[in-house]
Chain A
Amino acid sequence: MSEAIPGAGWHPIASGSDLAYRHVFHGALAGREVAVWRADDDHVNVWENRCLHRGVKLSIGVNEGFELKCQYHGWRYANRTSACTYIPAHPADAPARTIANRTFPAAERYGLVWSGEAATGVPEIPGLADADAFPLRPLPVDAPAAFVAERLAAAAEAIGTGRAARRIGDLALAFTAGVPGSDDPVAITVLVQPLAAGRAVIRALRHGRPTADAELEVLRHWNGVLTALRDAIEAAAATLAPAAPDAAPIEPLPAELADLPPAAAFGRRPALTMRIAEKQPAGDGVALFRLEPRDGVLPGFQPGAHIDVHLPNGLVRQYSLLNGPAETTAYLIAVKREPQSRGGSAALHETLRVGDLVALSEPRNNFPLRRDAGATLFLAGGIGVTPLIAMAKTLALGGRPFAFHAFARDAARLPLGAELGRLGSAFRPQLGLDAEARSAAISGLLAGGSVGGTGGRHLYVCGPAGFIELVRAQAAAAGWAEAAVHFEYFANARPLDRSQGFELALSRSCLTLAVAPGETIVEAVRAAGVDIATSCEQGACGTCLATVLDGAPDHQDVYLTPSEKAAGRSIVTCVSRARSARLVLDL
């Protein structure tokens, strides 16, 4: 009797019109509460209705367009992935990448929003074109969904044209009904949404949209018919045994989130394979790549994050993401063709083409952006604009003040002009300055200094090593607190000294190793079977940072600040070593 709806597992959970601009709709499906929100790019998110932090319902949160902000402590979760992008209580930290809410599949069709735990494909209603569907007013019913569907099927004949209803699935039926004042019968599809034990919603679709003037009358007519049915069904259901509550269980979080502070460990292994969807010249020997996930799901990222790209020739290179919070369908990276390339940028420029697949790591963020600054100053040299563009886009969406100064010899040497242009008046190119004029311009911008902290001025600088050194030195001279100056080097140009061997103890693994001259801590630790996450492996990105419990580190990286180095509590293990005979790490 029933031609089941293909793509079963789908249930309607809302009318499309429930997802008003910047609204969060409180839905439920089979005992599970969901927060449903439409992002500004029209993507519909269906998430478990519970903030991972302290369990507050996300349906009372704020839809900020591309992020959902929890009402309790302002944690922000990204459109699509629901990955946490920002924790305001710790504005200088990047949230652990694994903090992501449970998401459910979503589809918008026939004027309804559909979801389901095991939904596949797209819901299909026989004989109804998407544009013709006219959702009637949904009616909640105090009765089990299957019971509601039974009763509706039985009653359809009475309200229809005398023909029996067709069941088109366990919880769906179709019938034709006469229209008051018209000879043409109209087709109606009724879907029953299971809400929770003993609760359901009748969601009916009229095939064919009425004219604008008739809309209200059609809605009123069907509201009357369905309300009468609802009352009859509820009266019949009153005799049923009360349903056992079926609240969905709360699933435990990954173990690494249970600890304080959350630890994040990733090896230098490609976790993702993506397709090069676009490759475009973006000025000054820079190519802009758009990398699309093959399954449509782009893992979450934060402004300042970078990915490792594993090239066909075996090299691994780091590129900052250009993505702002609104860009959640593909990673954007900019690759500069380096004349002295050892094969990394050359491979991306010459070998890889649109349609090729590349292996990537998931994004990690060692260059987090504070969103609590009173003013943010971005200073970029050359291709150093990339992480800063992602940050600027984030602040622009959040309405936070910033100024973006990009230094280049001339306009032609300024990459990513189109991206920069989109920053509007906050973008100030600094072109054609000689060394002296450049230094004067920088000192003008840095005048006044900053103590940093909440509400203070913060500086983010990225570019060639010489540029970063210059800006940092001038900032220090102008009275900028070290904590207000944030930087990221592409590479560690310092000569490395690996001549000394030392003893290395790993306190958590209960291992003592000898690190030989010429060998790195990472190599020695991995040889002993303990993994350490790395990315650049040259002391620039900070991924391999470890906590020092005892001993004196010999810092050789460009990641830590001078005071972090002086404190001696952390070490960049891919390049740094020990000055003491023994070093104890929390690994």
Chain B
Amino acid sequence: MAVRRARDRVALDLWQVIGAVEDVPATGAATTVLMEETLAVSRGPAGIAVHLPETGEALPVLLRYGYVWTSLGTPPAELFPLPEWAEPDRRNLNAGTVGVHVSAPRAIENFLDMAHFPYVHTGILGAEPHTEVEDYDVEVSDSRDEVLATRCRFWQPMAATTATGAIMADYVYRVPHPYCAVLYKTCPAEPHRRDVIGILLQPVSEERVRAHLMLSLIDHDNPDTVLRRFQQTIFGQDKPILENQVPKKLPLDPRAETPIRADKSAVAYRRWLRQKGLTYGTIPAAA
């Protein structure tokens, strides 16, 4: 096994996202950083290739959900499933890639968190006095090895680009990968279906990420730029909060921070990370 700067085998053996397929240049190579290693990404005769310029080592490549995935270790055969992405009438796009000075697990918790909507996404995903987080269900699904939060509901003034007024939005959250989370929320355009939004985090280092915002929406009207702008506005509101979180790495010691019932999904996520033995981007609990 090649020597890596990062030590965490669990994280090294995962598939990690490194960018949108469409952003790989037609000629030449783009460089990016994954877990402190500089990678070169290029298009070759056999498709997209990733290698480490430092040693010339070629890395495995997987193209899924519009993104390029690679691994610095020995990855599993497949990535987590996302069947909705294949539905023919969905708008699948990368809404943007944003660098954030925070650990990947902190960004996941922010994505799972509803209580911040009225304060951070005021007038869009929430507004005072609608601050209550009703009870919801969380489980760690054994069959799929993911954290699943269901029956989540929150009052939203403007839940999506297709919204025409405030709705009580229903959410389901999945964390199918330590650094990736996906949500399914009420689609104002077709209430029986769900818009899918994913945050795919590329850990640049333990305290820095590139966040790739994945959309798979049902919206037949708005152009890409409008969909992108909506998502970028939301994430632009989260970024300064995330960058003002101390410590930047996620503390796994239960006594580091004060959870409330609304944080059930974060509590389950921290426990799941502890069970996996994943440490990259966390402050492990003292034994």
Query: Which of B133, B246, B254, B261 has the most CB atoms of chain A within a 10 A radius of its CB?
Result: B246
Whole-angstrom distance between the alpha carbons of A449 and B245 in the complex? 43
Q: A60-B240, A257-B258, A258-B255 are in contact. Are A72 and B120 (CB under 8 A)?
A: yes
Q: Are B246 and A49 in contact (CB under 8 A)?
A: yes
Q: Are B267 and A56 in contact (CB under 8 A)?
A: no
Q: Mark B250-268, 1 if CB is under 8 A from A, else 0.
A: 0101111111111110010
Among B129, B256, B259, contact of A252 (Cβ-Cβ < 8 Å): B256
Q: Are B120 and A71 in contact (CB under 8 A)?
A: yes
B119 on interface, CB distance cutoff 8 Å: yes
Residues from chain A with Cβ under 8 Å of B264 in the complex: 260
Q: Are A55 and B245 in contact (CB under 8 A)?
A: yes
Q: A89-B115, A89-B133, A90-B262 are in contact. Are A454 and B155 (CB under 8 A)?
A: yes
Residues from chain B with Cβ under 8 Å of A250 in the complex: 246-247, 251, 256
A121 on interface, CB distance cutoff 8 Å: no
Q: A88-B131, A89-B115, A454-B132 are in contact. Are A253 and B256 (CB under 8 A)?
A: yes
Q: Are A252 and B255 in contact (CB under 8 A)?
A: yes
Interface residues in A76-133 (C-beta closer than 8 Å to B): 87-92, 99
- Select from chain B the residue with minimum beta-carbon distance to A400: B129
Q: Are A453 and B132 in contact (CB under 8 A)?
A: yes
Whole-angstrom distance between the alpha carbons of A74 and B114 in the complex? 12
Question: Interface residues of B: mostly helix, strand, loop or mixed?
Answer: loop
Residues from chain B with Cβ under 8 Å of A89 in the complex: 114-115, 131-133, 260-262
A53 on interface, CB distance cutoff 8 Å: yes
Q: Are A262 and B258 in contact (CB under 8 A)?
A: yes
Residues from chain A with Cβ under 8 Å of B113 in the complex: 73
Residues from chain B with Cβ under 8 Å of A262 in the complex: 258, 260
Question: Interface residues of A: mostly helix, strand, loop or mixed?
Answer: loop
A371 on interface, CB distance cutoff 8 Å: yes
Whole-angstrom distance between the alpha carbons of A254 and B113 in the complex? 24
Q: Are B133 and A90 in contact (CB under 8 A)?
A: yes
Residues from chain B with Cβ under 8 Å of A99 in the complex: 258
Q: Are B131 and A372 in contact (CB under 8 A)?
A: yes
B143 on interface, CB distance cutoff 8 Å: no
Q: A72-B116, A372-B129 are in contact. Are A53 and B254 (CB under 8 A)?
A: no
Could you say which interface size class chain A belongs to? 35 or more
Among B119, B246, B253, contact of A55 (Cβ-Cβ < 8 Å): B246
Among B129, B251, B261, contact of A90 (Cβ-Cβ < 8 Å): B261
Q: Are A454 and B260 in contact (CB under 8 A)?
A: no
Q: Are B261 and A260 in contact (CB under 8 A)?
A: yes
Interface residues in B82-120 (C-beta closer than 8 Å to A): 109, 113-116, 118-120
Query: Separation in Å of the B96 CB from the closest CB of chain A?
Result: 22
Residues from chain A with Cβ under 8 Å of B129 in the complex: 91, 371-374, 400, 454-455
Q: Are A257 and B255 in contact (CB under 8 A)?
A: yes
Whole-angstrom distance between the alpha carbons of A57 and B246 in the complex? 7
Residues from chain B with Cβ under 8 Å of A342 in the complex: none
A33 on interface, CB distance cutoff 8 Å: yes
B128 on interface, CB distance cutoff 8 Å: yes
Whole-angstrom distance between the alpha carbons of A254 and B257 in the complex? 10
Residues from chain A with Cβ under 8 Å of B130 in the complex: 372, 454-455
Whole-angstrom distance between the alpha carbons of A49 and B251 in the complex? 17
Residues from chain A with Cβ under 8 Å of B241 in the complex: 56, 60, 71-72
Query: Separation in Å of the A49 CB from the closest CB of chain B?
Result: 7
Q: A60-B240, A71-B241 are in contact. Are A53 and B256 (CB under 8 A)?
A: no
B222 on interface, CB distance cutoff 8 Å: no
Interface residues in B221-250 (C-beta closer than 8 Å to A): 240-241, 244-247
Q: Are B262 and A50 in contact (CB under 8 A)?
A: no
Q: Mark A446-459, 1 if CB is under 8 A from B, else 0.
A: 00000001110000
A261 on interface, CB distance cutoff 8 Å: yes
Residues from chain A with Cβ under 8 Å of B118 in the complex: 74, 88
A184 on interface, CB distance cutoff 8 Å: no
Q: Are B255 and A255 in contact (CB under 8 A)?
A: yes
Q: Are A91 and B132 in contact (CB under 8 A)?
A: yes
Query: Separation in Å of the A252 CB from the closest CB of chain B?
Result: 4
Whole-angstrom distance between the alpha carbons of A118 and B109 in the complex? 36
Q: A260-B261, A261-B261 are in contact. Are A55 and B131 (CB under 8 A)?
A: no
Q: Are B109 and A54 in contact (CB under 8 A)?
A: yes
Q: Which 6 A-B pairs have the closest CB atoms?
A: A88-B131, A372-B129, A258-B254, A89-B115, A89-B262, A252-B255
Known: A250-B251, A259-B254, A373-B129; 6 extra A-B contacts, CB below 8 A, are A53-B257, A53-B258, A55-B247, A56-B241, A72-B116, A372-B131
Residues of A that sit less than 8 Å from B by CB = 33, 49-50, 52-57, 60, 71-74, 87-92, 99, 250, 252-255, 257-262, 371-374, 400, 453-455
8 contacts between A and B (CB under 8 A): A56-B244, A91-B131, A252-B256, A254-B255, A372-B128, A374-B129, A454-B132, A454-B155
